[in-house]
């Protein structure tokens, strides 16, 4: 039976610690296929940036999988088979796409490519989970922040005038979105007030 919104909130409305080894192992499993796909799709990011971004998302994926009692998608990336890359975590017959946002961000923002990816891939997963990770001495603390219904994603997206690289943002104050960890995020922002948090 698929996980309900109530069950997801119970499991994800907390800070989840991920050891260094687990996040790095997850990144190493994916990075070759991700770099190959980035080259084929003319991704403008440098390989170093892609690896950093992948480590951030990997920490979040490991945390969500652990919290839900599930596992990450360990398939080898094959551009001809969407099931190898169109979802990140599965648990209790439910499938999830995990997205990353920075601690200092109040809104989940993204570019045109991600907007199109969600429109095309949403049939392969049940929910989008947006999370933030912050580096600790021996790993990462992960804060799940939004649970999004992909069916309603497009209707809650609007253009952004504040970020030239990420030209859209998601309006999370809507009935189909669950906001998580409000107090924990506020506390973390106070800790890092005036300085940029370390992600990796």
Q: Coil, helix or strand for 110? A: strand
Using the predicted structure, report yes or no on whether residue 44 has a pLDDT greater than 90. no
Angstrom distance (rounded) from CA 141 to CA 159 = 30
pLDDT of residue 152: 95
d(CA 57, CA 52): 9
Quick: pLDDT tens for 137-155.
999 999 999 999 999 999 9
Judge whether 199 and 102 are in contact, CB under 8 Å.
Answer: yes
Q: Answer with the residue of higher pLDDT: 77 or 49.
A: 49
Distance CA 49, CA 58 (A): 14
Give yes or no for a contact between 152 and 92, defined as CB atoms under 8 angstroms apart. Answer: no
Residue 176: pLDDT band with limits 50, 70, 90: very high
User: DSSP strand E in 25-175: where?
Assistant: 71-72, 89-91, 94-100, 108-110, 127-136, 139-148, 157-159, 168-170
Q: Could you tell me the pLDDT band of residue 196, with boundaries at 50, 70 and 90?
A: low
Share the mean pLDDT of the chain: 92
48: pLDDT strictly greater than 90? yes
Q: Is the pLDDT at 172 greater than 80, yes or no?
A: yes
Distance, in Å, from the CA atom of 131 to the CA atom of 91, rounded to the nearest integer, reads 17
Share of the chain above pLDDT 90, in %: 75
Query: What is the strand order of the sheet 157-159 is part of?
Result: 108-110, 168-170, 157-159
CB 28 within 8 A of CB 34: no
Q: Is 139 in a helix, a strand, or coil?
A: strand
């Amino acid at each position: 039976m698929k996980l309900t919104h109530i069950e997801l909130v119970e499991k994800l409305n907390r800070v989840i610690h991920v050891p260094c080894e687990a996040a790095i192992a997850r990144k190493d499993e994916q990075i070759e296929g991700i770099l190959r796909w980035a080259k084929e799709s003319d991704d403008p990011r440098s390989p170093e940036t892609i690896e950093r971004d992948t480590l951030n998302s990997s920490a979040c994926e490991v945390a969500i999988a652990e919290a839900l009692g599930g596992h990450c998608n360990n398939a080898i990336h094959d551009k001809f088979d969407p099931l190898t890359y169109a979802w990140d975590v599965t648990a209790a017959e439910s499938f999830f796409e995990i997205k990353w946002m920075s601690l200092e961000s109040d809104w989940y923002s993204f570019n045109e490519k991600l907007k199109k990816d969600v429109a095309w891939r949403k049939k392969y997963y049940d929910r989008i989970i947006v999370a933030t990770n912050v580096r600790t001495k021996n790993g990462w603390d992960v804060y799940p922040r939004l649970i999004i219904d992909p069916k309603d994603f497009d209707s809650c997206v609007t253009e952004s005038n504040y970020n030239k690289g990420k030209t859209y943002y998601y309006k999370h104050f809507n009935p189909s979105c669950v906001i998580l960890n409000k107090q924990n995020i506020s506390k973390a922002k106070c800790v890092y007030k005036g300085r940029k948090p370390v992600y990796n």
